[in-house]
């Protein structure tokens, strides 16, 4: 569609009210939070009207926080890796199915996206608990019971479950764009199934996989419900840390600092992704 | 023994029979077209030869070797897909080199052969472009180069020209024939376009709902269609249903009380028959001077020729006459129709009047 | 020709098991007659569903969430449709900015939005009211509606609108009689997606709900951190059922794969 060159007034009249609302409820609160992160804090008197960098310094020097950040990154990276390892082949398998199976299974794989994270996490806490199905199965097979709940394993398992659709969707979309005959063309030129996959299908799926990976990584690193319900008190991640600072410690400036760091990291990832997509588009578009 | 032969090849999808008992023998260097309307099984037949679809029954052999169940990557046939199926993330040169790479051809030879193949399809200047930067006709030629560079014993073309516009399609027909003559590769082309099939093939195989109904040289196919379907599918024709009358001196078909003379094989008196006469075999003359009188219902000027529909006692007849540079009879004027009896053909299969 | 081999099918079955296991276990445990989280081995019971409906907090939260989702999805449509028209139909200074602004809640973690709202409300003294909660949810769900509206508008055949104009329809009539009906599937799909996203939202809501406005996911989260009994499974099963119904409606009407896949 070629947008109609037009006056300034009409589009702003249309979008103006919404824009005002969004400025007031997105940009303003974010700006206030950035300012808040520089406010000094005193445990007995609360937020001070003096400004300081001490929260940022504390967060990047204190081993306690660094450990939580390291854990957050580790868990997010592991989740991303596993999601890719499961999601990419699954998307490929789905794309090779015939309808109606293809639509049905696609629905089953991406449908849970619409089920509340609390519900899904609760399901995993039942499966992974000391008396859960997984432990019962292990005992049936003659293994000793393992403690899974309240470990990083539990968090990763549930996060993979929550994030899998975000990996399947972009890879599936990328594979949909691929002419199914392209793979057949590679076979007729002498490529084995594996070579055709590696040389022809994978390069097409890569962009979808990268896009999926960034979404999964970003969402995992800021996930709240899963670590809050499956990590217990000790295993904090960035989001649960912010929650505790705000609603338990009541140290809002410190909480704001961590939230801003999470946001900045997220935006960096998105920017890097856009750069990469553009570079790639330039390469193939010429 | 033919170079490529299909013996009683069938393909069933569930209860649906896509291809039924196809027998075909193709000689080395031949250009054969599989012609038919969509859903007639021609593409399935091609895909079975390529190894992309496994036949339910029958045997396919190439140069004396049974390839019925061989994997497509072991057959070494060149395939040009309807969608071209170029690798979108590879340049033109990389696309063409792919098959050579799979054959582990050394780099130097590979480069040389890619260069030759691109020269053959006149795309040398486009080696470093990506498929999406090319026009439809250029992509088409990349697909041909990619299929030919591996020096396949047989080249398979699946509706190769259907994605091109009319003018380009005509150019590519000649181009395709030129390349095929030059390389000498045995070629099988699937098409639903009868003009395309007639113009470039040595032989045309007509397929109808999964079966082969006629295999002939283009000229013979046009002049002696074996049934009503083929006579109307291949070119335009006038079909007339009537009853066969055997007289002493002359025999012919009686239609609406008129006896149309035609030399024909032995047919019993009183048999219902269908006659076919091509529009360009009918001549317009003055009313009363021909074999049949009529009135011009409409006329269309097509540039090189005029197309008439003429109302006659036998029904509407289509007539085409070459443009001689002067104006022919106007709409509404009475005319006579004449033809040589040899051009009025009896169609063997009189059941399927199209 | 495109068939998955046995290895692929086994892999597929394992993935399906993984995806469905937690949902299936919830639905099974919800019917247990026992007092602990256990599979209903000795018959099925509805006692925990009855317990949910007899629990005033859960019932109140459920209605809170329904109202919240309905209002925020509807208001999101009110913002998104004109915004979508402006962005897709006009070139004007600030167009890219507007587009980025309206879609920004998709890339800002909900956690960050939550603390940002909390700060704003604390400063302006707007704590705990339902209206402000609705406002925050509008922010979160508007991008979903906008994306589907934009997709619907860009997929629209403009010549139908031009035909209406040549037949004598004014600009507003053209929108009402031609454009709106053509983008209606996109709007409805967007509304449902917005409803579901609002209904399920936890991370942001947890910061901005007050005891009087607690939503169902927040209530469930609070309940799950304190005690775990089969009532939690019963509530979860109900939520799965509601989502499944919404999903089926979405799928029948527009094709869920199209809506969800079109998202990213």
pLDDT in tens, C81-92: 999 888 888 888
- Contact criterion met (CB < 8 Å) for C86 and A26: no
Highest mean pLDDT among B1-15, B244-258, C152-166: B1-15
C42, pLDDT greater than 70:
yes
User: Of B72, B87, B132, which is closest to A188 when you measure between CB atoms?
Assistant: B72
Asked if pLDDT for residue A281 goes beyond 80, the answer is no
- How close does chain B come to A80, measured CA to CA in Å? 25
- pLDDT confidence bin for C258, thresholds 50/70/90: low
Q: Which residues contact A205 (CB under 8 A, 6 or more apart)?
A: A88, A91, A92, A171, A174, A175
As a residue count, chain C comes to: 264
In angstroms, rounded to a whole number, what is the distance separating the alpha carbons of residues C219 and C206? Answer: 9
CB C40 within 8 A of CB C33: yes
- Structure token pair of residue B221: 């196919």
Nearest to A233 by CA among A244, A223, A242, A247: A244
pLDDT at A1 over 80: no
Residue A99 has pLDDT above 80, yes or no: no
pLDDT in tens, B56-78: 999 999 998 999 888 888 888 99
Q: Using a CB-CB distance cutoff of 8 angstroms, which residues of chain B are in contact with residue A200?
A: 87
DSSP secondary structure of B293-311: EEEEEEEEE-SSEEEEEEE
Q: Name the residue among A181, A189, A192 with its Cβ closest to that of B99.
A: A189
Specify the pLDDT at position C11.
93
For chain A, what is the radius of gyration of the CA atoms? Answer: 24
Q: Which CATH superfamily is domain B283-338 in?
A: Nucleic acid-binding proteins (2.40.50.140)
Chain centroid to CA B115: 32
Which chain A residues are Cβ-neighbours of B82 within 8 angstroms?
181
pLDDT of residue C2 exceeding 60: no
- Is any Cβ of chain C less than 8 angstroms from the Cβ of A228? yes
The answer to whether the CB atoms of A179 and B150 lie below 8 A apart is: no
User: Residue A283: pLDDT above 90?
Assistant: no
The stretch B217-233 carries a mean pLDDT of 86
Give residue C264's pLDDT band: very low, low, confident or very high (50, 70, 90).
Answer: very low
Helix or strand or coil: residue B110? helix
Minimal CA separation from C3 to chain B, in Å: 11
Would you state the pLDDT for residue B310? 92
Interface check for A273 against chain C (CB to CB < 8 A): the answer is no
pLDDT of residue B348: 62
| Paired tokens of C130 | 């339902």
What's B4-229's CATH class? alpha beta
Angle between helices C130-154 and C110-124 (to 10 degrees): 130
Burial grade of A194 (CB within 10 A; 0-12, 13-18, 19 or more): exposed
* C-beta atoms of A126 and C25 within 8 A: yes
Which site among C109, C175, C201 would you substitute to test the A interface, given the most A Cβ atoms closer than 10 Å to its Cβ?
A: C109
Subunits with 3+ Cβ pairs within 8 Å of A are B, C
Check C115 against A33: CB less than 8 A apart.
yes
| Interchain contact, B73 vs A190, CB within 8 Å | yes
Asked whether residue A7 carries a pLDDT value surpassing 70, the answer given is no
Residue A187 with chain B: CB contacts under 8 Å: 51-52, 71-73
Q: What is the DSSP letter of B5?
A: E
Percent helix, strand and coil across chain A, each rounded to 5? 75, 5, 20
C174-183 pLDDT, tens digit per residue, is 888 888 888 8
| Residue in B295, B299, B289 with CA at minimum distance from that of residue B338 | B289
CB contact B87 to A (< 8 Å): yes
CA dihedral in degrees (B183, B184, B188, B193; nearest 10)?
A: 70
Mapping DSSP onto H, E and C, the string for B162-188 reads CCCCHHHHHHHHHHHHHHHHHHCCEEE
Residue ranges of E strands in B89-171:
154-158
The two counts, helices (H) then strands (E), for chain B are 9, 20
* Confidence band, pLDDT 50/70/90 cuts, at residue C263: very low
Cα–Cα distances in angstroms (integers) from residue C111 to residues A270, C103, C193, C205, in the given order: 17, 17, 20, 9
Given CB atoms, is B157 within the 8 Å cutoff of chain A? no
pLDDT at A215: 86
User: How close is the nearest chain A Cα to the Cα of C132, in Å?
Assistant: 10
**Interface confidence (ipTM) of the complex:** 0.85
CA distance C237 to chain A (A): 8
Q: How far is B17 from chain C (nearest CA, A)?
A: 16
Q: Which two tokens stand for residue B213?
A: 């109904």
- In terms of average pLDDT, the best of B46-50, C5-9, C222-226, C244-248 is B46-50
Most C CBs within 10 A among A79, A122, A217, hence the mutation to make, goes to A122
Nearest residue to B340 via CA among B288, B286, B280: B280
Q: Does A200 reach chain B within 8 Å, measured CB to CB?
A: yes
Q: Please report which confidence band the pLDDT of residue B109 belongs to, taking 50, 70 and 90 as the band edges.
A: very high
Q: What is the pLDDT of residue B351?
A: 43
Within 52-81 of B, beta carbons closer than 8 Å to C belong to 52-53
Q: Please spell the DSSP secondary structure of A138-201, one letter per residue.
A: HHHTTPPP---TTSHHHHHHHHHHHHHHHHHHHHHHHHHHS-HHHHHHHHHTT--HHHHIIIII
Those residues whose C-beta lies under 8 Å from the C-beta of residue B251, and which sit 6 or more positions away, are B244, B245, B261, B262, B264, B267
What span, in angstroms and rounded, lies between the C-alpha atoms of A94 and A202? 15
- Residue range B191-214: mean pLDDT, rounded: 90
- Give the position of tokens 């469930």: C220
Neighbours of chain B (3+ CB pairs under 8 A): A, C
Q: Which residue of A has its CA nearest to B98?
A: A189
- A282 near B CB under 8 A: no
What is the rounded CA–CA span in Å between residue B199 and residue B71? 33
Burial of B1 (0-12, 13-18, 19+ CB in 10 A): exposed
Please report all neighbours of C, defined by 3+ CB atom pairs within 8 A. A, B
Residue numbers in B near A179 (CB within 8 A): 83, 85
Question: Is the CB of A186 less than 8 angstroms away from the CB of B146?
Answer: no
Chain C closest-CA separation from residue A52 CA (Å): 18
Which range, of B137-146, B211-220, C239-248, averages the lowest pLDDT?
Answer: C239-248
Q: For residue B118, what pLDDT is reported?
A: 93
The continuous run of DSSP H or E covering B35 comes out as: strand B31-35
d(CA B80, CA C147): 39
Candidate from A22, A184, A211 with C-beta closest to C102: A22
Kindly provide the b/e burial profile for residues B161-182, where b requires at least 16 CB atoms within 10 angstroms of the residue's own CB. beebeeebbeebbebbeebbee
Residues A71, A237: Cα–Cα separation, whole Å: 7
Closest CA to C148 of C226, C262, C37, C244: C262
Q: What average pLDDT score do residues A213-241 get?
A: 87
pLDDT at A282 over 70: no
So what's the pLDDT on residue A286?
42
**CA geometry: angle A183, A189, A191, nearest 5 deg:** 65
Distance CA A21, CA C138 (A): 10
Distances, alpha carbon B266 to alpha carbons A55, B224, B271, C139, in Å: 107, 17, 11, 87
Instruction: Using the predicted structure, report yes or no on whether residue A3 has a pLDDT greater than 60.
Output: no
Q: What pLDDT band is residue B352 in, cutting at 50, 70 and 90?
A: very low
**8 Å CB contact of A190 and B99:** yes
**Tokens standing for B127?**
């080696």
Closest-CA distance, B154 to chain A, in angstroms, reads 12
Q: In which band, very low, low, confident or very high, does the pLDDT at A41 lie, cut at 50, 70 and 90?
A: confident
For the structural domain made of A50-285, what CATH number should be given?
Answer: 1.10.3720.10
Contacts of B53 in chain C (CB under 8 A): 1
Q: Does A176 touch chain B (CB under 8 A)?
A: no
Looking at residue C142, its pLDDT comes to 93
Q: What is the pLDDT of residue B350?
A: 44
Would the pLDDT of A273 be above 80?
Answer: no
| Best residue in A180, A184, A189 for a mutation probing chain B (most B CBs within 10 Å) | A189
Confidence of residue B4 (pLDDT cuts 50, 70, 90): very high
CA-closest candidate to residue B122, choices B61, B175, B52: B175
Residue C67 has pLDDT above 90, yes or no: yes
Q: Which of A140-154, B26-40, B266-280, C148-162 has the highest average model confidence (pLDDT)?
A: B26-40
Q: Could you say which residues from 30 to 59 on chain B have a Cβ atom under 8 Å away from some Cβ of chain A? A: 50-52
- Mean pLDDT for chain B? 87
- Beta-ladder partners of B243: B254, B272
**What are the residue ranges spanned by the domains of chain A?**
50-285
B85–C contact, CB cutoff 8 A: no
Among partner residues C88, C239, C243, which is closest to A3 by beta-carbon distance?
Answer: C88
Mean pLDDT is highest, among A211-225, B102-116, C176-190, for B102-116
Peptide linkage before C141 cis (omega within 30 of 0): no
What's residue A259's pLDDT?
92
Q: CATH for C56-260?
A: 1.10.3720.10
Q: Given CB atoms, is A204 within the 8 Å cutoff of chain B?
A: yes
pLDDT of residue B258: 76
Closest CA to A39 of A249, A253, A250: A253
The average pLDDT across B244-253 equals 71
Which residues 102-161 on chain A approach chain B with CB closer than 8 angstroms? Answer: none
CB contact under 8 A, A191 and B102: yes
HSE of C187 in the Cβ direction (CA atoms, 13 Å)? 19
């Amino acid at each position: 569609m070629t947008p109609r060159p037009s006056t300034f007034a009409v589009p702003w009249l249309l979008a103006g009210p919404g824009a005002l609302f969004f400025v007031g409820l997105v940009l303003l609160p974010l700006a206030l939070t950035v300012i808040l992160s520089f406010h000094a804090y005193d445990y007995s008197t609360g937020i001070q009207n003096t400004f300081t960098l001490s929260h940022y310094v504390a967060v990047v020097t204190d081993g306690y926080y660094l450990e939580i950040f390291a854990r957050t990154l580790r868990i997010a990276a592991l989740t991303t890796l596993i999601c890719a390892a499961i999601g990419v082949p699954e998307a490929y398998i789905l794309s090779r199915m015939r309808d109606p199976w293809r639509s049905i299974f696609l629905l089953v794989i991406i449908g849970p996206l619409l089920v509340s994270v609390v519900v899904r996490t609760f399901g995993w806490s039942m499966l992974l608990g000391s008396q859960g199905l997984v432990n019962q199965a292990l005992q049936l097979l003659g293994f000793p019971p393992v403690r899974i709940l309240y470990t990083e394993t539990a968090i990763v398992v549930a996060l993979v479950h929550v994030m899998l659709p975000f990996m399947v969707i972009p890879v599936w979309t990328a594979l949909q764009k691929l002419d199914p005959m392209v793979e057949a063309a590679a076979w007729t030129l002498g490529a084995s199934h594996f070579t055709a996959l590696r040389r022809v299908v994978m390069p097409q799926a890569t962009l979808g996989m990268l896009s999926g990976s960034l979404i999964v990584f970003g969402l995992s690193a800021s996930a709240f419900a899963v670590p809050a319900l499956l990590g217990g008190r000790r295993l904090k991640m960035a989001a649960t840390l912010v929650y505790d600072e705000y609603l338990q410690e009541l140290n809002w400036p410190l909480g704001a600092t961590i939230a801003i760091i999470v946001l900045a990291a997220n935006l960096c990832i998105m920017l890097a992704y856009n750069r990469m997509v553009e570079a790639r588009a330039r390469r193939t578009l010429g | 023994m033919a170079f490529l032969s299909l013996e009683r090849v069938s393909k069933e999808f569930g209860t649906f029979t896509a291809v039924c008992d196809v027998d075909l023998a193709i000689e080395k260097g031949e250009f054969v077209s599989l012609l038919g309307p969509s859903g007639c099984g021609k593409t399935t037949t091609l895909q079975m030869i390529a190894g992309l679809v496994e036949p339910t029954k029958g045997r396919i052999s190439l140069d004396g070797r049974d390839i019925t169940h061989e994997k497509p990557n072991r057959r070494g046939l060149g395939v040009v897909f309807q969608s071209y199926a170029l690798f979108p993330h590879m340049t033109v040169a990389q696309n063409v080199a792919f098959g050579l790479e799979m054959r582990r051809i050394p780099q130097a030879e590979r480069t040389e052969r890619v260069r030759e193949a691109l020269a053959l399809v006149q795309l040398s200047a486009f080696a470093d472009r990506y498929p999406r930067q090319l026009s439809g006709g250029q992509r088409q030629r990349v697909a041909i180069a990619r299929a030919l560079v591996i020096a396949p014993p047989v080249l398979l073309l699946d509706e190769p020209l259907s994605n091109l516009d009319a003018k380009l399609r005509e150019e590519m027909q000649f181009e395709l024939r030129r390349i095929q003559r030059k390389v000498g590769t045995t070629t099988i082309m699937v098409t639903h376009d009868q003009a395309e099939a007639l113009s470039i093939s040595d032989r045309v195989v007509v397929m109808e709902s999964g079966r082969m109904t006629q295999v002939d040289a283009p000229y013979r196919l046009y002049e002696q269609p074996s049934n009503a379907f083929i006579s109307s599918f291949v070119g335009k024709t006038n079909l007339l249903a009537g009853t066969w009358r055997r007289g002493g001196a002359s025999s012919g078909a009686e239609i609406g009380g008129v006896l149309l003379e035609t030399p024909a094989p032995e047919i019993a008196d009183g048999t219902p028959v269908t006659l076919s006469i091509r529009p360009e075999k009918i001549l317009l003359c003055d009313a009363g001077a021909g074999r049949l009188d009529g009135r011009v219902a409409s006329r269309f000027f097509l540039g090189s020729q005029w197309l008439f529909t003429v109302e006659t006692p036998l029904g509407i007849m289509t007539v085409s006459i070459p443009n001689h540079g002067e104006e022919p009879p106007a709409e509404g004027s009475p005319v006579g129709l004449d033809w040589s009896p040899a051009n009025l053909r009896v169609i063997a299969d009189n059941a399927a009047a199209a | 020709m495109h068939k998955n081999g046995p290895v692929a099918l086994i892999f597929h079955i394992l993935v399906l098991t993984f995806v469905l296991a937690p949902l299936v276990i919830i639905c099974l445990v919800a019917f247990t007659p026992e007092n602990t989280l256990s599979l209903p081995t000795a018959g099925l019971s509805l006692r925990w569903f009855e317990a949910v409906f007899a629990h005033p907090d859960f019932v109140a939260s459920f209605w809170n969430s329904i109202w919240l989702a309905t209002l925020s999805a509807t208001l999101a449509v009110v913002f998104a449709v004109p915004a979508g028209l402006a962005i897709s139909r006009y070139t004007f200074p600030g167009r890219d900015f507007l587009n980025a602004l309206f879609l920004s809640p998709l890339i800002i973690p909900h956690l960050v939005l939550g603390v940002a709202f909390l700060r704003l409300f604390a400063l302006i003294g707007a704590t705990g009211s339902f209206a402000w909660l609705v406002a925050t949810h509008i922010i979160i769900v508007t991008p979903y509606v906008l994306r589907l509206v934009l997709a619907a508008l860009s997929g629209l055949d403009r010549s139908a609108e031009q035909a209406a104009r040549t037949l004598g329809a004014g600009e507003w009539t053209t929108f009402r009689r031609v454009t709106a009906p053509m983008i209606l599937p996109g709007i409805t799909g967007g509304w449902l997606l917005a409803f579901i996203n609002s209904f399920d939202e936890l991370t942001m809501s947890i910061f901005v709900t007050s005891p009087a406005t607690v939503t169902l996911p927040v209530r469930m989260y609070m309940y799950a951190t304190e005690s775990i009994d089969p009532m939690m499974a019963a509530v979860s099963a109900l939520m799965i059922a509601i989502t499944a119904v919404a999903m089926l409606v979405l799928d029948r009407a527009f094709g869920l794969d199209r809506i969800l896949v079109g998202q990213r």
